Chain A
Amino acid sequence: MSERIETGADLLVVENLKAWYGDSRALQRIDLRVRSGQIATLVGRNGAGKTTTLRAIMGLVAREGSIRFQGRELVGLLPDAIARCGIAYCPEERGIFPGLTTEENLMLPPVLRPGGMSTAEVYSLFPNLHERRRSMGTRLSGGEQQMLAIGRILRIGAQLLLLDEPTEGLAPIIVEQIGVAIQALKARGFTILLVEQNLDFAQEISDAFWMIEDGQVVDQMDRTGVVDEAALSQFRKHLSL
């Protein structure tokens, strides 16, 4: 099985990754390769370990194994050091800080490296945020909060964005806007590792897919699988009950 669609080099290589919440093991074994410039998606049912995989990459859970980013080992580093390597994280719950306006939330993450987007660029990507920049961040609609959660990590200067379920609970028209924005980010050179339950959405924009089940990768598929009926239905089977 050949997965080599994109010509970019491996940006993120995850090997034999295990993770724990307290005493309970949340990841059994995760192996992933994300190529530079790709949109890669982790698919799977609720509780399969998709979010934990992102949190393990970001250093937010106890973990073991190997996570190499641009050849540099991340296991053993604290989250702030991982961020400085060039990875930015947008959590599922969005994590908009209360007591801060939209603009203050947007400006909160420090610029760690050159090459990030300017505030004006973020506003042109998400014009709603500009309109509502003086509103409290927690007063925004769900879709706007999601835009804010994505928008604020674009200034950091990261090459790899970890986006956890950016479409969760949003109306179809907003989901479409988020999809357009994510593609614009890819066009601007970001590499994106996405967690999605919504495979229809992921199919539209992703270059590579990993199916996670019980904390392990059980299947994978590349862009060609999306147009191959047989491959797609085979892949989808994991999601059906």
Chain B
Amino acid sequence: MIEILGVSSQALWGQLLIGLINGAFYALLSLGLAIIFGLLNIVNFAHGAQYMVGAFCAWIALNWFGVNYWVALILAPLVVGALGALMELLLLRRIRDLDHVYGLLLTFGAALLIEGSFRQFFGSAGLPYPMPEQLRGGRDLGFMVLPNYRAWVIVASAVVCLVTWLVIERTKLGAYLRAAMHNPSLLQAFGVRVPRMVTLTYAFGATLAGFGGVMAAPIYQVSPAMGSSTLIVVFAVVVIGGMGSIGGAMVTGFGLGLVEGLAKVFYPPASSTVIFAVMVIVLLLRPAGLFGRVA
């Protein structure tokens, strides 16, 4: 067996794979956060809760209604997106003209309420969600065994991120979004219904979080706290990538997942903090983030 710095290549590939999977979730979540921040100027602290609700929707759908993974993968994100739209219409819209810190506080409060309610009804223990049958097992790549479900997560997340990026960068709809991020009132004076766009954008960010939650359900257990623990890392990812930089959020998400995986191989105690160390270094060297433009 080949060894690098005393580490077997099998362990290295294994950890890199886990890193890539974590990175897939970081990318999905930070993409939604970056889009929401770009248009609403709100740091969406409810993002983790929305991810968790997505996972619970899948769990409830399966256990109460017998709805399978694939249907839940479509339905649960839509439910989370609809809840996001409601939250924007009923709550966030009212504080739009106030200081942005109110948006942060409001979404933080909402996240606590949502998490608390789920803890009340479902307890804090993780609930198991079975792998979809079609994706059980794995294939031997020679140097390691790649579980099918994990491959699916990486591919699906990358495709969703890429399609989102293409829509934002290459379509008329995306041009509206980019223009609205820069000067929403002028775009509205051109006749674009910016308030509706804000609602749909927030809903879309929540949809991405819900989608991530469903994909996470078979890998991690479904629990009320699953969102908040992930979200802290995702915030770091967004800051490293550059607040509001959509491409940056995705690339950084996958990249930092790998960095975390590498840390687990070479110096495991650092694996939970390495992302924050990277954040400190990046902020010192490039305060606007890796892909952020200095205002």
Contact = CB atoms under 8 A, between A and B. Distances in A.
Given A108-B175, A108-B176, A79 B189 contact: yes
Given A104-B175, A108-B175, A156 B182 contact: no
Contact of B191 (A83, A91, A97): A83
Given A60-B185, A60-B189, A97 B195 contact: no
B193 interface: yes
Given A60-B185, A91-B186, A95-B183, A156 B191 contact: yes
Nearest to B194: A80
Contacts of B172: 107
B178 A83 contact: no
A61 to B, nearest CB: 10
Contacts of B183: 95, 97
23 contacts: A60-B185, A60-B189, A78-B188, A80-B190, A80-B191, A80-B192, A80-B193, A82-B189, A83-B189, A83-B190, A83-B191, A95-B183, A97-B178, A98-B182, A100-B178, A104-B175, A107-B172, A108-B175, A108-B176, A108-B190, A109-B192, A110-B192, A153-B190
Classify chain A's interface size: 20 to 34
A95 B176 CA distance: 14
A84 interface: yes
B179 A108 contact: yes
A104 B174 CA distance: 11
B188 to A, nearest CB: 4
A192 interface: no
A163 to B, nearest CB: 13
Contacts of A107: 172
B292 to A, nearest CB: 13
Interface of A: 58-60, 78-80, 82-84, 88-89, 91, 95, 97-100, 104, 107-110, 112, 153, 156
Contacts, number: 56
Nearest to B186: A95
B95 to A, nearest CB: 16
Most buried by A among B172, B185, B189, B195: B189
Contacts of B190: 80, 83, 88-89, 108-110, 153, 156
Contacts of B182: 97-99
A79 B184 CA distance: 11
Nearest to A95: B186
Interface string B253-278: 00000000000000000000000000
Given A83-B190, A89-B186, A97-B183, 19 more contacts: A78-B188, A79-B185, A80-B192, A84-B191, A89-B190, A95-B186, A97-B178, A97-B182, A99-B178, A100-B175, A100-B179, A108-B175, A108-B190, A109-B190, A109-B191, A109-B192, A110-B192, A153-B190, A156-B190
Contact of B188 (A80, A91, A108): A80
B118 to A, nearest CB: 37
B84 to A, nearest CB: 22
Interface in B174-224: 175-176, 178-179, 182-183, 185-195
A99 to B, nearest CB: 6
B176 A112 contact: no
Contacts of A153: 190
Nearest to B176: A108
Nearest to B180: A97
A52 to B, nearest CB: 14
Contacts of A91: 186
